[in-house]
Structure formats: structure tokens, C-alpha cells
Amino acid sequence: MKTKDLMTEAAEAKSLSKVKKIGILTSGGDSPGMNAAIRSVTRCAINAGIQVYGIQRGYQGLIEGEFIELDRYSVSDTMQRGGTMLKTARSEDFKTEAGQERAASILQTFGIDALVAIGGDGTMRGAFDLSKFNVPVICLPGTIDNDLGYTDYTIGFDTAVNTVLEAIGKIRDTSSSHERTTVIEVMGRKCGDIAVYAALAGGAEGVCVPEMPVDVNRICNKIITDGHKGRTHSVIIIAEGAPIKTTDLVDEIKRVTHKEVRQVVLSYLQRGGSPSSADRLLGTLCGAKAVEVLTDPNFDLGSYAIGEQNGKICAISLEEAVNMKRDFKEELVGLINVLSK
């Protein structure tokens, strides 16, 4: 679409939109690309004549009324930075009905017509609860875990996988020099996507995920066979939610193979860093879609989740989104096993 068309559309939306003032917050774990999403929502909304308030520290800041008005310059020079310029938090108060009622009343006091919430599974469940108090909420998928059923990818996942890949490369150098096996623990809560994508792209010799039983014998046999063939180092990726603890896996490999085994827990390293182009784009496109929904003259003041389905940015009902189960791609684990045979 040409710039002129976009300007005309924005002007039309300005006069027809029911939404005049929005709040925006980030909640749960931070993820690279959240700033791109905040920037996109803010600038697209301002372009459509909507006033934007940034709410600091997620739902806790909402309950405590931590609002700041954003203009288009408030979001300058933020897109390349990891983390979230609005800060984030986990809020126990918001999980209670009283907390949600207070949040709805604060939004009403500030004259906010709709809330944009960027976060993961918990954030979306919280948004759905809040929507029962007649607050329209538009959710954007901001989490490194890629654990949301309704979207192909979440904002931050790609950067996290790239961070793990960089670590695998460095660990391989030292593992091969010392002829060791290294078990790398990655994040993802109950979702094995970070582990699987990083293991595939990083050529790992094995992967353990929460969604599948762990075959320790396969991993040990592989290490022993490789040793006989002169390949004396291996990298195994384990997701934090796998059915075996990382330390137990390390001990078992040591016991069976009699080889040197080390463990590396990448932890919060995976949440930081400048977002990849994929995460900046996903954040930007989801942000623009959120404003498109809010400025649609037929907007029903309902609640929606924005995401990517089969490569297209889409908006679906929030209720449907929170109830969609994630499909785990077991075939990718099969491929890792074939490639590392």
C-alpha cells in the first residue's frame, strides 16, 4: 500500500474509530522484540488519532496506576534494544478477582477505551479474565518460549534460538578440544521449541524435550559409537521442562559412557540481546495489526489475540486463542535423531 493510501486510511479511521485512548503494557518474562511491538502500536495509534498511555511494570503497574503518556518520540531508538522499555513484572495481585476489578476501574478512571497487552500464556489468561470486566484487550504474543497454540511464532523466540546457536558454536570449540560431551540446558518452560530449533540448526547430537520421553540409552549409545569412529565430542540440548533433570542426565551419561561430561545452563542469557530481524518484524507487524483492529469502524469492543498463522498476521478472538492447544512438531525430533545417527 502507498504512503498516501495509508495516510488517507488513517484519517478515515480517525473519524470513525470508537477507540480514542489506549493503554499498552508488557507482562511476564521480557522478550527481544517487545520494544518493536510497543513502537509500532504507539506510532500506528498516534497516526490514527489515538492517544497512547504506556503502563509500566505489567499488570502490577496497572493496578498501581503507573501510567505515562507516550508520543512518537518516546519510542525512538528502542527497536534495536532487548528487554522492554515499559519494564515488566509478574503480579500475584492481578491473579485475584479483586485485582482485576481494580485494574478495570483504574483503566476507566484514566478514560482508556482498550488495553494492548504484550506477553506470554499467563499474560493472555490474565487479559481474558480482565476482558470479563468489559475491558477490550488486544494481546500480542511476547515470549521467547513459543508456547502459544494460536500463533506459529512468538515475538522473541527467533532471537532466543539464535542466542542458543551462538552458545552451541562456542561450546563446541571447547568440547572438541577437550573431547567432552556438553549438555546445554535451555529455557522454554513446558515447551521444547527452543531446544528443538536450536538443536536442529546447531547440529546437536541429541535433544530432550518436555513433550516426549527421554531416551537416555540412545544418547549414550550415540556417544560411545561416535567415540569408536573418532568423533570424541558431543553437544546435547535439554529443555528446562524435560522429564529428566539436567544433572541426572549428566550423571547417567558419565556412568554409562565413562566419558567427561559438562553441563551449561544458559538461563537468562536467552532472554536478552538485540532482537533479530524476524522478531523486530513480527513485533512491528503484530503492533500494526492491533491498531488495525482497534480502528476498524466495525470493532465490536471485544478482545483479540494477534499472531501469525501460516505466515499471515491475523487477529482471532482472545477466548479462542487462550483455549488453543499447541501442536508439538515431533517429526523435528525424529529428524534430529536421523541427522545425528
Active site residues: 145
- Chain contacts with ligand ATP (rule: CB under 6 A): 27-29, 59, 90-91, 94-95, 119-123, 125-126, 129, 143, 145
> What nine digits make up the cell of 119?
506477553
* CA 300 remoteness from chain centre: 27
- Give min distance, CB of 261 to ligand ATP, in A: 30
Nearest alpha-carbon partner for 291 in 20, 2, 65: 20
DSSP label at 325?
A: P
Q: Give me the sheet containing 67-70, strands edge to edge.
A: 67-70, 51-55, 21-26, 114-119, 137-141, 304-309, 312-317
- Closer residue to ligand ATP in complex, CB, 325/341: 325
Nearer of residues 163 and 257 to ligand ATP, judged by Cβ: 163
> Measured from the CB of residue 26, what is the shortest distance to ligand ATP in angstroms?
9
Our CA angle for 129, 133, 135, nearest 5°, is 90
CB of 231 to ligand ATP, least distance (A): 37
CA–CA separation, 316 vs 305, rounded Å? 5
CA distances from 226 to 138, 223, 257, 313 (A): 51, 5, 11, 44
Residue with cell 528487554: 83
- The CA distance from 336 to 331, in Å, is 9
Minimum CB separation of residue 125 from ligand ATP in Å reads 4
- Output 91 or 340, the one with its CB closest to ligand ATP: 91
Q: Which is nearer to ligand ATP, 110 or 268 (CB)?
A: 268
Residue carrying C-alpha cell 498516534: 46
| DSSP code per residue over 181-224 | EEEEEE--TT--HHHHHHHHHHT-SEEE-TTS---HHHHHHHHH
Nearer to ligand ATP, 59 or 150 (CB): 59
Residue 134 C-beta: closest distance to ligand ATP, Å: 16
Q: Based on CB atoms, which residue is closest to ligand ATP, 33 or 206?
A: 33
CB 28 within 8 A of CB 60: no
Q: How far is the CB of 312 from ligand ATP (least distance, A)?
A: 23
Q: Which residues pair with 146 in a beta bridge?
A: none
And the C-alpha cell for 298? 466495525
Closest distance of CB 87 from ligand ATP, Å: 13
Residue nearer to ligand ATP on the CB measure, 87 or 262: 87
Q: What is the DSSP string of 74-122?
A: TTTT-TT-SS-TT-----SGGGSHHHHHHHHHHHHHTT--EEEEEESHH
